[in-house]
Amino acid sequence: MLDERGENQIKKQAQGDMVVILNQFKHKRRLVKLYRYGMYAALVISCIIFTLVGLYQLDHRIPSTIYVRAGMEQSFHLNIPATGSIMDVANGGESNIPKERITIDLNRPVTMKTGALNKYSMRVFLFGFLPLKNVDIQVVENYELIPGGEPVGIYLKAKGVLVIGVGDFTDTQGTVHSPAKNLLKTGDYIQKLDGTEIQSKDDLIKRVEASQGRKIKLEILRGDAVLVKEIQPIKDQSGRYKIGVWVRDNAQGIGTMTFVDQNGRFGALGHGISDVDTSVLMDITGGSLYETKIIDVVKGHSGAPGEMTGLIVYSKDKMLGDIYENSARGVYGYLNQKGKRISKSQAMPVGFKHEIKKGPAQIICTIEDEPCMYDVEITAIHLEHDNINRGIELKVTDEELLKKTGGIVQGMSGAPIIQDGKIIGAVTHVLIQDCKKGYGIFIEHMLEH
């Protein structure tokens, strides 16, 4: 039998065990609650992310601008659960049809017929009540463009000289110097030295040497800002004064003409020309377009896109026109009389992006002597892509072109894309992992530059 002390110890032990069990139970309840709260939070966050992703995808299925031709009946089908109301922007936002009577169901094909040139704004509502996006509707002339396809040589003159790198060098005493460090940076355009414009890379080098070590003031363009930097040139081991930068003053290469309009204005490439070392879009003062002959084609394959090699003679008698703009949407300028004679194609109407459909299309490019039309398939259409140069996805299906090039090759940028007798865009990029596939820009974006 247990004495009183033993009984008390057993009771205390039991009470202690009970406290432990209760604490464990409470801890488990807290863990269950935390788990539930975590699940609820994860569910809420997932719903928010799902909603935001859905809204983002819907937003990208709606173009920011829809072009329609004056006096013509046209249809588009966005296929989204939304409605739209239209205002007449040209008349101060007033419409001759009351807003409450306008119901445009964007989940169904919409047919529009407009009169004179005008501009409208359509406000899109998701599920009929949630504001989603404003869309500009531009009524434009039914103009035509002459499709290109001819190879062209491009020469661009930079606005000043472009800094492609900042480095150091050793002086006659063996000391390492970097005068431009923390003052100039890759992507800067050096435009003036001591208030006088820099004409070329050689001009900059000569004037730095002529400073004889005197401090010089460089006026540079950095983004949209104009800055003045004071730098002291230092003599290197050869006895020449330097500031420790690598620069470039021009760019050249070959591409493909996309279109020519009735005034002789041309667009080419479908994307801008950037410096090969810095990837900075070149800011130019002008440039020239030259006649080019394709002399070789390196066939592309998976992991290694091919390229076209062209012979460019930079002489006046080979000049086709002047370039005035290098933008993300392409290279633009005006053809001279010689340039206007190079195209043998007939003018075609412009096809806007809401008119494009998946399926057969053609591209026009020059592989040998004359521009030829080759079959492709449009595999995807991105009405509102984050990258303006990738609105169209396409795949080469033409056996002859595949045999000659393997697909899309460098130098083909700018090749016009044709569908249903309309010029709808231009080739811009090739997929490195599959050179049969590539991207294109909508022609309307090239015309918006």
Cα 202 to Cα 196: distance, rounded to the nearest angstrom: 15
Strand segments (E) across 261-306: 265-268, 284-298
The answer to whether 242 and 169 have CB atoms below 8 angstroms apart is yes
CATH assignment at residue 321: 2.40.10.10
- The yes-or-no answer on residue 398 being catalytic is yes
Angle at CA 345, nearest 5°, toward 342 and 350?
Answer: 120
DSSP string, 112-131: EEB-SSEEEEEEEEETTTEE
- Domain boundary (107, 142, 177) is at 142
Closest CA to 330 of 265, 277, 248, 384: 265
Tell me what pLDDT residue 47 has. Answer: 83
Cα 396 to Cα 376: distance, rounded to the nearest angstrom: 4
User: Are 342 and 388 part of one and the same domain?
Assistant: yes
Residue ranges in the chain whose pLDDT is less than 70: 1-26, 88-103
Q: In which region does residue 95 sit, left (phi positive, over 0), alpha (psi from -120 to 50) or beta (all else)? A: beta
Cα 262 to Cα 284: distance, rounded to the nearest angstrom: 25
Domain contains 172: yes
Residue 281, SS3 per DSSP: strand
Give me the phi and psi of 174, to 5 degrees please: 90, 5
User: Are 318 and 417 part of one and the same domain?
Assistant: yes
User: Are 357 and 225 part of one and the same domain?
Assistant: no
Domain contains 88: yes
Closest CA to 430 of 449, 406, 448: 406
Cα 78 to Cα 378: distance, rounded to the nearest angstrom: 18
Cα 121 to Cα 102: distance, rounded to the nearest angstrom: 13
Domain contains 253: no
Tell me what pLDDT residue 18 has. Answer: 64
User: Are 411 and 300 part of one and the same domain?
Assistant: yes
Number of domain units in the chain: 4
User: Are 323 and 378 part of one and the same domain?
Assistant: yes
Cα 69 to Cα 4: distance, rounded to the nearest angstrom: 105
Exactly one of 288, 343, 345, 413 is catalytic; which is it?
413
Residue 199, SS3 per DSSP: coil
Domain contains 278: no
- The yes-or-no answer on residue 385 being catalytic is no
Tell me what pLDDT residue 46 has. Answer: 82
Chain Cα centroid distance, residue 68: 24
Domain contains 270: no
User: Are 390 and 432 part of one and the same domain?
Assistant: yes
CATH assignment at residue 173: 2.30.42.10
CATH assignment at residue 92: 2.60.40
Cβ neighbors of 186 (< 8 A, separation 6 or more) are 163, 164, 165, 166, 277, 278, 280
Cα 401 to Cα 359: distance, rounded to the nearest angstrom: 18
Q: In which region does residue 365 sit, left (phi positive, over 0), alpha (psi from -120 to 50) or beta (all else)? A: beta
Cα 55 to Cα 75: distance, rounded to the nearest angstrom: 24
User: Are 303 and 414 part of one and the same domain?
Assistant: yes
User: Are 106 and 46 part of one and the same domain?
Assistant: no
Exactly one of 177, 271, 354, 429 is catalytic; which is it?
271
Cα 267 to Cα 364: distance, rounded to the nearest angstrom: 14
- The yes-or-no answer on residue 271 being catalytic is yes
Tell me what pLDDT residue 417 has. Answer: 98
Closest CA to 419 of 361, 343, 351: 361
User: Are 306 and 397 part of one and the same domain?
Assistant: yes
User: Are 310 and 366 part of one and the same domain?
Assistant: yes
Cα 194 to Cα 58: distance, rounded to the nearest angstrom: 54
Tell me what pLDDT residue 1 has. Answer: 47
Residue 402: is it exposed, middle or buried by C-beta count within 10 angstroms (0-12/13-18/19+)?
A: middle
Cα 43 to Cα 33: distance, rounded to the nearest angstrom: 15
Cα 206 to Cα 213: distance, rounded to the nearest angstrom: 13
The sign one gets for the Cα dihedral 404, 407, 413, 419 is positive
DSSP string, 379-418: EEE-TT-SSGGGSEEEEE--HHHHHHHSS--BT-TT-EEE
pTM comes to 0.79
The terminus-to-terminus CA distance of the chain in angstroms comes to: 103
User: Are 339 and 410 part of one and the same domain?
Assistant: yes
> Which tens digit of pLDDT belongs to each residue from 367-384?
988 899 999 999 999 988
The parent domain of residue 114 ranges over: 65-142
Domain contains 250: no
Domain contains 249: no
Exactly one of 177, 385, 398, 445 is catalytic; which is it?
398
Domain contains 436: yes
The answer to whether 421 and 348 have CB atoms below 8 angstroms apart is yes
Cα 441 to Cα 330: distance, rounded to the nearest angstrom: 10
User: Are 351 and 406 part of one and the same domain?
Assistant: yes
